[in-house]
Amino acid sequence: MARFTLPRDLYHGKGSLEELKNLKGKKAIVVVGGGSMKRFGFLDRAVDYLKEAGMEVQLFENVEPDPSVETVMKGAQAMRDFEPDWIVAMGGGSPIDAAKAMWVFYEYPDTTFEEIIQPFSFPTLRQKAKFCAIPSTSGTATEVTAFSVITDYHKGIKYPLADFNITPDVAIVDPELAETMPAKLTANTGMDAMTHAIEAYVSTVACDYTDPLALHAIKMIHNDLKKSYDGDKDARASMHNAQCLAGMAFSNALLGIVHSMAHKTGAAFSGGHIVHGAANAMYLPKVIKYNSKDERAAKRYAEIAKFIDLPGSTTEELVDALIEELKKMNKSLNISSCIKEYEGGIIDEKEFNEKLPEVAKNAIGDACTGSNPRIPTQEEMEKLLLACYYDKEIDF
Ligand code: FE
């Protein structure tokens, strides 16, 4: 038995933000981030539409990137005071992820993070409110997924929350909100989406319902990401849809060790963060080579390569063509080829090697490892991470 869950309604296309007018309810709380939605006028428009729908509206602003437990608790308290029957989260991944967690503590004030950290163990939501998500970046697809990442800065832990209860009720995928993304963010979030689709397609729990979404997303991202990066508006709109399709696939097919490694290297080093999308982009070619030792995975990578018309007649040739194509995409998007080169070398070589055993252990223990085609040993994971640091070939 498997489950496939998506939002009840998904509005897409230019101007779809206006659908907020048709939500039925009495009170809406709008959760947003640091200011771009306000600056570009989308927040005001959203509030006006909700008022047109006859709702009383309150704002919860300034959710930080990588939202904290404190922000979640503050937001949940604001919700308990205001008692909304709609939670409307808009912006990048962070405000939407934060709002998903606030929702849980709004409806269940006595629950704790420790209680909901176990995947798929949430209490039944929608007792008090429904959830509408409106993304402004084209990558995380949190508007359609069952996931949210919250950071406990005191303990230095990221809580990856996973439960179909937090899959939104309504997603509004309006490309106008993504038009304002800077080029670098477009590149990183776009390769995050590419990684979602590829990992979902080779995941051990991929199925007939997730495969077509993943494949089509890969084709669209392959066609449109570079154009979107170069400022083409149509390609930017297409990327907004493509990342959402990739999200529908991975919310149900889960991910793999590219994400395990990105999660656990992201904040591990003192020189600075390795941004999620860039980390995925750098690690993906290495992990494909490693995973392709698994026969089923190799066949699936070859299917992807064929689907996007890459050259090759044998499985091996097609897998290698896919790896080369992804490296080429990274280069064209000005994403570094390895951690050593990342942001001019902010991740210190000595520190990387010192922390390698611990980071490798954490990556193996990450929630995304379980659905990867191969489960790496400690030694293999260390070798994989070293290959990602020095841009070495994978031969194991
Ligand atoms: Fe991701």
Residues 233, 301: one domain?
Answer: yes
Residues 156, 78: one domain?
Answer: yes
pLDDT for res 325: 98
Q: What would the DSSP string read from start to end of 100-148?
A: HHHHHHHH-TT--HHHH-STT-PPP--SS-EEEEEESSSS--TTT-SEE
C-alpha 85 – ligand 1 centre gap (Å): 29
pLDDT tier at 289 (50, 70, 90 boundaries)? Answer: very high
Tell me, yes or no, whether 209 lies in a domain.
yes
pLDDT for res 114: 86
**Pairing of β 170-173 and β 86-91:** unpaired
Q: Average the pLDDT over 175-195 and give the result.
A: 96
Instruction: Report how many domains make up the chain.
Output: 2
C-alpha 23 – ligand 1 centre gap (Å): 29
Residues 59, 174: one domain?
Answer: yes
203 secondary structure, DSSP code: S
C-alpha 199 – ligand 1 centre gap (Å): 10
Q: Assess whether pLDDT exceeds 90 at residue 292.
A: yes
**What domain range is 88 assigned to?**
9-178
Determine how many CB atoms are found less than 10 A away from the CB of residue 61: 14
pLDDT for res 293: 97
pLDDT tens digits, one per residue of 80-135: 999 999 999 999 999 999 999 999 999 999 999 888 988 888 999 999 999 999 99
Tell me, yes or no, whether 77 lies in a domain.
yes
Q: CB–CB of 107/123 below 8 Å?
A: yes
Residues 144, 216: one domain?
Answer: no
C-alpha 343 – ligand 1 centre gap (Å): 20
pLDDT for res 258: 98
Q: CB–CB of 246/200 below 8 Å?
A: yes
C-alpha 276 – ligand 1 centre gap (Å): 7
Phi, psi of 135 (to 5 degrees): -80, 145
pLDDT for res 20: 98
Which domain-ending residue is among 152, 178, 204?
Answer: 178
* Nearby residues of 137 by Cβ (< 8 Å), 6 or more positions away: 91, 92, 93, 178, 181, 185, 189
Residues 30, 174: one domain?
Answer: yes
C-alpha 139 – ligand 1 centre gap (Å): 7
Tell me, yes or no, whether 186 lies in a domain.
no
Tell me, yes or no, whether 2 lies in a domain.
no
Q: Give the residue among 349, 360, 366 at the shortest CA–CA distance from 383.
A: 360
Q: CB–CB of 251/221 below 8 Å?
A: no
Residues 219, 353: one domain?
Answer: yes
C-alpha 54 – ligand 1 centre gap (Å): 36
pLDDT for res 151: 86
Mean pLDDT of the chain: 96
pLDDT tens digits, one per residue of 225-277: 999 999 999 999 999 999 999 999 999 999 999 999 999 998 889 998 899 99
Q: Assess whether pLDDT exceeds 80 at residue 59.
A: yes
Give the domain CATH number at 259: 1.20.1090.10
Q: Assess whether pLDDT exceeds 90 at residue 159.
A: no
Q: Assess whether pLDDT exceeds 80 at residue 155.
A: no
pLDDT for res 257: 98
Torsion of CA 292, 208, 307, 323, to 10 degrees: -20
Q: CB–CB of 60/78 below 8 Å?
A: yes
C-alpha 242 – ligand 1 centre gap (Å): 14
Please report, rounded to a whole number, the percentage of residues in the chain having pLDDT higher than 90. Answer: 91
pLDDT tier at 34 (50, 70, 90 boundaries)? Answer: confident
Q: Which two tokens stand for residue 269?
A: 């080093």
d(CA 311, CA 306): 8
Distance of CA 146 to the CA centre of its chain: 11
C-alpha 258 – ligand 1 centre gap (Å): 9
C-alpha 53 – ligand 1 centre gap (Å): 34
pLDDT for res 160: 81
Q: Average the pLDDT over 192-209 and give the result.
A: 98
- Bridge partners, residue 88, by sequence: 30, 132
pLDDT for res 152: 85
C-alpha 395 – ligand 1 centre gap (Å): 26
Phi, psi of 77 (to 5 degrees): -65, -45
pLDDT for res 175: 97
pLDDT for res 288: 98
d(CA 251, CA 188): 20
C-alpha 175 – ligand 1 centre gap (Å): 20
Q: Assess whether pLDDT exceeds 80 at residue 157.
A: no
Which domain-ending residue is among 112, 147, 178?
Answer: 178
Q: Average the pLDDT over 56-71 and give the result.
A: 95
152 secondary structure, DSSP code: E
pLDDT tier at 181 (50, 70, 90 boundaries)? Answer: very high
Residues 42, 105: one domain?
Answer: yes
Residues 131, 233: one domain?
Answer: no
pLDDT for res 118: 84
Residues 146, 208: one domain?
Answer: no
d(CA 170, CA 166): 11
d(CA 133, CA 148): 12
pLDDT tens digits, one per residue of 334-379: 999 999 999 999 999 999 999 999 999 999 999 899 999 999 999 9
Residues 153, 280: one domain?
Answer: no
C-alpha 262 – ligand 1 centre gap (Å): 8
C-alpha 19 – ligand 1 centre gap (Å): 27
C-alpha 72 – ligand 1 centre gap (Å): 21
C-alpha 314 – ligand 1 centre gap (Å): 30
**Pairing of β 147-152 and β 157-162:** antiparallel
pLDDT tier at 154 (50, 70, 90 boundaries)? Answer: confident
Residues 204, 173: one domain?
Answer: no
Give the domain CATH number at 77: 3.40.50.1970
Residues by chain with Cβ below 5 Å of ion ligand 1: 192
Q: Assess whether pLDDT exceeds 80 at residue 52.
A: yes
C-alpha 164 – ligand 1 centre gap (Å): 17
Which domain-ending residue is among 123, 152, 178?
Answer: 178
C-alpha 221 – ligand 1 centre gap (Å): 14
* Nearby residues of 385 by Cβ (< 8 Å), 6 or more positions away: 261, 265, 356, 359, 360, 363
Q: What would the DSSP string read from start to end of 324-362?
A: HHHHHHHHHTT--SSGGGGGGT-S-HHHHHHHHHHHHHH
Tell me, yes or no, whether 83 lies in a domain.
yes
C-alpha 193 – ligand 1 centre gap (Å): 7
Residues 212, 332: one domain?
Answer: yes
C-alpha 128 – ligand 1 centre gap (Å): 30
Q: Give the residue among 62, 118, 138, 67 at the shortest CA–CA distance from 97.
A: 67
C-alpha 80 – ligand 1 centre gap (Å): 31
C-alpha 196 – ligand 1 centre gap (Å): 6
